[in-house]
Structures are given as structure tokens and as C-alpha cells.
Amino acid sequence: MKNALLAVILCFCFSLSLVSAQETTATIQELKGTVEVKASGTADWTAARQGMRLAKAASISTGIKSTAVIALGNSIITVRPLTRLSLEELTRNQDAEKVDIYIQSGRIRTEVSPPSGGKIDFTVRSPMATASVRGTTFDFDGENLSVTSGRVNLSGSDGVPTVVRAGESSYVSGRFGRAVNTARVTITRPAAASPAPAGTDSTTVSGPPVGTSPPPTNGSLGIGLDWYRPNGK
């Protein structure tokens, strides 16, 4: 009797888990140029088409001057030219979504939005880095990250996350496997020099000594890196 009751409880819990976290599909909303897809468990690439649905573990590849816009629940990803990625996980329940994308090469732009009244766990991984967010817009090529809105946790092979906020950029150091914030240099502009007194040599007006760095000026200078890795099939 106890065994039968335990079996019923286990079946109920299993059924509940299936209802609470169901696999879903992604939809190709727009495409331009040469875009190909490959379903999980198949070896052949086929031409993508608008409105096509992609299941978990499907792969996407774009050619030169080719792009694809894909809806994943409430979120949107724009796949840039010469990009290859796979949809590792697409699950959702009543108030949460989970998306896991693996980018092999190229670059994507994401617009991450949680379901109404819910939350989202959105992760983009590459061989070098992992970017995880919960509601934001960013560009990522597997190494270099640029955040438009919200904030992103970027980590390299060392597993230590670096928070990158709106308007900031970051990249992963290949040497140390570490996420590095984009360098920022703060500069202060000097006040306008007073006119030289009559009869004096204008070269004696105050300024930085010869051989020293120029005085800083107001503002900030963002220094970042951006590159593509080859995309071969």
C-alpha cells in the first residue's frame, strides 16, 4: 500500500514538473541573405524561411551580408553575418523563461525581456566567455560585450563575473581567461591661459613642462576591442 502511494506521488510530481517547465520553440521572424538551419540529430543544413520554428538544440548559420531575427519567448536575438550558434535550451512555465545560447563564431545582438509579471534566465556562452542577464540589450561576439541597457554579468574561463552596465563595454582576456572592464581615462581640461604681460615672451606662459603628459580634460575615453573569429562549416 505504501509503495503504491509513493508511486502515485512520484508520478504526480513528475507530471507537475513537465507542466511547470515545458520546452518551447524559437521562431524566425525576419531573414536576409543566406541563412541555414540544422535540426538536432541531423547532419544536413537546410535553407531557413520566415516563420520557421526552431526546437531545442537547433543550429543557425548566416552567410556574408546575411542576418536573421529570431524570437525566443518575449526576447529577440539578431544574428549578425558570418555567425553560427545553437539553441541549447528553451524552456518556460507560467512565470519564467530560460534561454541558453551557444555562439561558436560571429556576433549577435539580444533584446532580453521577461514574460509579463515573471522573470527570465538568459545566458549566452562561447568557448571563452559566458554572459548572463535578466532583462537587457547587448551585443556579444563570444569575447567582446557592449551593453545598451540594463546590465550583464560577463565571466571568462576563471568563472569570476564582472558586471557591465548600460553604456559600458567589456572583453575577455585570452591570456588570463578573465573578464576585463573597458579602460576609462578621465581627463580635466585646463583653464584658459591668461594673456602674457606686455613686453614678455609668450613662450613663458604657464603650461606643462617639456616631456610631460598633457593635462587631463573633462570627459571619458572608452577603449575597447572588437573582432570576429573565422566561421567555417
DSSP code per residue over the chain: -HHHHHHHHHHHHHHHHHHHSEE--EEEEEEES-EEEE-TT----EE--TT-EE-TT-EEEE-TT-EEEEEETTEEEEEPSS-EEEEEEEEE-SSEEEEEEEEEES-EEEE--PPTTSEEEEEEE-SS-EEEESS-EEEE-SSEEEEEESEEEEE-TT--EEEEETT-EEEEETTTTEEEEPEEEE--PPPPPPPPPTTS-GGGS--PPTTSPPPP-SSEEEE----------
Rounded mean pLDDT of the chain?
Answer: 74
Residue 20 has pLDDT above 60, yes or no: no
pLDDT reported for residue 66: 97
5 domain residue, yes or no = no
203 domain residue, yes or no = no
194 domain residue, yes or no = no
- Taking residues 182-207, report their average pLDDT: 44
Whether the predicted model's global pTM rises above the 0.85 cut? no
pLDDT reported for residue 13: 46
pLDDT reported for residue 34: 97
Cα–Cα distance for residue pair 37/54, rounded to 1 Å: 8
**Containing structural domain, residue 175:** 126-189+218-226
Q: What is the pLDDT of residues 132-144, one digit of tens each?
A: 886 678 999 989 9
Examine the domain organization and report whether 222 and 132 are in the same domain: yes
- Residue 149 CB partners (closer than 8 Å, separation 6+): 136, 137, 166
210 domain residue, yes or no = no
Residue 194 has pLDDT above 80, yes or no: no
pLDDT reported for residue 23: 76
Examine the domain organization and report whether 93 and 165 are in the same domain: no
Do strands 96-105 and 119-125 pair parallel, antiparallel, or not at all (unpaired)?
Answer: parallel
7 domain residue, yes or no = no
Examine the domain organization and report whether 30 and 94 are in the same domain: yes
Examine the domain organization and report whether 96 and 29 are in the same domain: yes
229 or 52, which is more confident: 52
- Taking residues 171-183, report their average pLDDT: 75
Residue 103 has pLDDT above 60, yes or no: yes
201 or 40, which is more confident: 40
Of 100, 135, 163, the residue that ends a domain is 100
Examine the domain organization and report whether 26 and 96 are in the same domain: yes
Examine the domain organization and report whether 222 and 136 are in the same domain: yes
Cα–Cα distance for residue pair 206/128, rounded to 1 Å: 50
pLDDT reported for residue 198: 53
Residue 39 has pLDDT above 90, yes or no: yes
Residue 180 has pLDDT above 90, yes or no: no
- Taking residues 137-165, report their average pLDDT: 89
17 domain residue, yes or no = no
Give the number of domains in the chain. 2
144 domain residue, yes or no = yes
Examine the domain organization and report whether 37 and 92 are in the same domain: yes
| Selection from 1, 231, 207, 222 nearest residue 106 by Cα | 231
95 domain residue, yes or no = yes
Least reliable range by pLDDT among 44-53, 138-147, 185-194, 212-221: 212-221
Residue 209 has pLDDT above 70, yes or no: no
